Amino acid sequence: MKMKASKISTMRTWGLLLVLGGMGLMVLGTSGIILFGQVGKIIAAIFMVIGILTCGASMFIYFWVGMLSTSAPVIECPECGKRTKMLGKTDRCMYCHTILTWDPSQATNASVPKEHEPSPSTTV
């Protein structure tokens, strides 16, 4: 089973991938000068602009995640006991990837029969 991360961690991962991709594009474009001479300068300029745009998109994502992170409520995970931030009605713990929810109707616990209410350990 593939482990899924929390929403904040996933957005930070996309920001990191954009930074690395943008810098890689800029380095790849710079190698065009060495390989293709005069035409390589045009290739380098195009790749430089695309790389700067992807790094700028990454900066926007990191800023957005930072703003979301400051307003996200901090809760204690019932499984691992660590403090984690939660976005939306459902999210995952940043450490143990347990599904957390505010809505008792979306909480699941296989060991509790249907006639009983969900245990407090599955809802936050």
What's the rounded Cα separation, in Å, for the pair 34 and 82? 52
Residues 6+ apart with CB under 8 A from 99: 90, 91, 92, 108
Which two structure tokens, joined as six digits, stand for 89?
């009605």
- The DSSP line for 52-71 is HHHHHHHHHHHHHHHHHHHH
Tens digit of each residue's pLDDT, the chain (124 residues): 455 888 888 899 999 999 999 999 999 999 888 888 888 899 999 999 999 999 999 999 999 999 998 988 888 888 888 898 888 888 888 888 888 888 777 776 644 444 444 555 555 5
pLDDT of 101 reads 85
